[in-house]
Structure 1
Amino acid sequence: MRHFIFLAIVFLMGSLVQAQTEPKKNDPPKFSFGSIEPKNVAYPNWKTATFGGTQFWTDVRVASDWRIQRNSSFGHFRLLDEDNIRQAWGEESKCTAELEKRLKTGTVKPCRGEVVILLHGLCRSWRSMKTLAEHLETMGYETILFRYASSRQPVAEHARCLRQVIDSLPPDVTEINFVAHSLGNIVVRHYVSDCAKSSDCKLDSRINRMVMIGPPNQGSRMARLMKDSLSFKMIAGASGAQLSLGWEKLSENLATPEFEFGIIAGGYGADGSALSNPVLYGQDDFTVSKWETMLPGADDFLVKHLVHSTMMNQLEVLEATTQFLDKGYFISNERKRPIQSLPAKPGLEEVAK
């Protein structure tokens, strides 16, 4: 009996892995446990706190920390207030109507002025970007912590939802900037590509600048090395699979931003420092190598001794990010390091230097 239960669990896990890690190009979004279309009815709602579910819900509209989110598994929607209390759920139109009512009465304030949209990395949550958001708010920016189910859907779906959030920003928003960590940068690049390729999508003219923090712009060797790991497949899901086996296809749908952008990379290793990731070539932040972060067209490039998982919370990153959003450079105009072309890919000989 125990063997039967064990085999049943393994079969179920394998089915979920298969569903989450093998998205096909140009396929419509698929939901892990089947697609359940919400009925056009009014759902009763108990105004209670959510259980979190950061890997299962993605924002489609945000206004002053109120947000409409879509469930990555079942496709229904919910409206959360600034305290993560559910105010409505079910069909998107029902959640939109409830939010519009709050906007009209003034209980919810629309976004306005200079806005920064922050995107977290793979398997992380909005909380990982909260310190940076709070710092930007002290500098006069209004921030949107874009919450998305990073491991449960392919990058194209994250980008589609990001587009919905951007398209729903009111005219009172005069400027849009991006600050993204790791996978979040790939989501923005996919959004830019979608706008360039689609006749019904136009890049928002209010977009000004972007800061990329630890972006895997050239893919991820770490993800490729872990591609056969069951735990990696279960945790990293669809987006993780695209960073590893699916990078070649994914990269075809990533664009270089048309607006100003700067890159902050971690750099331990080849410069003589004692610590580095032995499976990565050249300098690295223990997860992404410096070379992997590079993207020709960048207006500035900053390398610091930073660890990938915590770099967005470091004071030097907070200050450099604000400086770039304000001025278009990390340190000074004279010390800008634009990336005009991609250098040769480092190999083992770089590690030995």
Structure 2
Amino acid sequence: MIKTTIHFTKCALILLVGLTLMSGCSSSHHAPVIAKNETVIVAHGLARSAGAMWQLEEELQEQGYQVCLLDYDSLGETVDDVLADTSQQITNCLPETGKVHFVGHSLGGLVIKSYLNKHQETLPKGELGEVILAGTPNSGSEVADHLKDSLLMDWGGDISRSLSTKQIALWQKEAQIEKAVGVIAGTKPSRMTKDLFSGKNDGLVSVASASAVNVKDIIELPISHSAMRKDDETARQIIYFLSHGKFQHTTISEI
């Protein structure tokens, strides 16, 4: 009887340890995400590279999206050269099948709009999904206006000058699209540029400029222009929009 009890106790202990270990494993790992037959093409902003968007890339991949990052030079380049380069890259990114989404930060949004302006009708190798523009100066930037005669703007070249509120007409001609888009606008100003704006802005682009497009939905986030590209909440809102066609305006505290 004593041996039987000891044997039972050992078995129970082994079982308990096993269940504890399994419980620990299940709580510390996310359930595997099933890969979507959906591609997200991501375009970075002025003076950046593909590496600037790596956090967003990881967040999208964790949700099962295929991601293709554009990587193009912008400083000192002409608008035509940038558009030719990015157009070819986007074409190379297109999958044979499946839905294709676009996400552009700042200048990247203008690049995407220009591509869709010329190629939307011939796009489907896959189906056009959602388009999201984050901090894109759709009607130009007051900061670019202020710097128009500076050495910095000379260094930035043609494409930098094209982002002023006066020169943006070139982009407006190149980048008009009927597709309604999601707009993320930052509202955290910079002490260095706040006097250049008359309304809400992210330090480089006003909310009014970011929203000067055919808007499907818009959300304002308390974040600066540069931080937007690596912000967790921005990434969360992008992912939500890709799935739902709208942003999640209700916060947890309001539910």
Superposition TM-score, scaled by structure 2 size: 0.75
Q: Secondary structure at the match of 1:263?
A: strand
Tell me if 1:161 matches 2:85. yes
1:115–1:173 CA contact under 8 A, matched in 2: no
Tell me if 1:135 matches 2:59. yes
Q: Secondary structure at the match of 2:229?
A: helix
For residue 250 of structure 1, the aligned residue among 171, 176, 186 is 171
Tell me: CA distance 1:219–1:171, structure 2 relative to 1, closer, same or farther (3 Å): closer
Q: Secondary structure at the match of 1:143?
A: strand
Tell me: CA distance 1:173–1:150, structure 2 relative to 1, closer, same or farther (3 Å): farther
Match of 2:185 in 1: 265
Number of residue-to-residue matches in the alignment: 212
**Aligned Cα RMSD in Å?**
2.4
For residue 232 of structure 1, the aligned residue among 153, 157, 165 is 153
Tell me: CA distance 1:248–1:275, structure 2 relative to 1, closer, same or farther (3 Å): closer
For residue 217 of structure 2, the aligned residue among 279, 288, 300 is 300
Query: What is the rounded CA distance, in whole Å, between the counterparts of 1:171 and 1:256 in structure 2?
Result: 22
Q: Secondary structure at the match of 2:219?
A: strand
Deviation at 1:113, TM superposition (A): 2.9
> What amino acid is the match of 2:37?
G
Q: Secondary structure at the match of 2:194?
A: coil
Match of 1:309 in 2: 226
Question: 1:318-333 residue pairs with structure 2 within 5 A?
Answer: 318-331=235-248
Deviation at 1:257, TM superposition (A): 4.6
Bigger share in helix: 2
Tell me: CA distance 1:149–1:177, structure 2 relative to 1, closer, same or farther (3 Å): same
Tell me if 1:194 matches 2:118. yes
Tell me: CA distance 1:171–1:219, structure 2 relative to 1, closer, same or farther (3 Å): closer
For residue 222 of structure 1, the aligned residue among 123, 143, 150 is 143
Q: Secondary structure at the match of 2:159?
A: helix
Structure 1 portions without partners, runs of 5+? 1-111, 334-353
Deviation at 1:169, TM superposition (A): 4.5
Deviation at 1:207, TM superposition (A): 1.8
Deviation at 1:278, TM superposition (A): 1.6
> What amino acid is the match of 1:250?
W
Superposition TM-score, scaled by structure 1 size: 0.55
Match of 1:45 in 2: none
Deviation at 1:223, TM superposition (A): 0.5
What do the CA deviations read for 1:155-175 (whole angstroms, capped 9, x no partner)?
333333333233335654412
Match of 1:176 in 2: 100
Deviation at 1:177, TM superposition (A): 0.9
Q: Secondary structure at the match of 1:299?
A: strand
Query: What is the rounded CA distance, in whole Å, between the counterparts of 2:71 and 2:62 in structure 1?
Result: 21
Structure 2 portions without partners, runs of 5+? 1-35, 251-255
Larger relative contact order, structure 1 or 2 (CA cutoff 8 Å, min sep 6): 2
2:186–2:220 CA contact under 8 A, matched in 1: yes
Question: 1:13-28 residue pairs with structure 2 within 5 A?
Answer: none
1:163–1:191 CA contact under 8 A, matched in 2: yes
Match of 2:8 in 1: none
Deviation at 1:276, TM superposition (A): 7.4
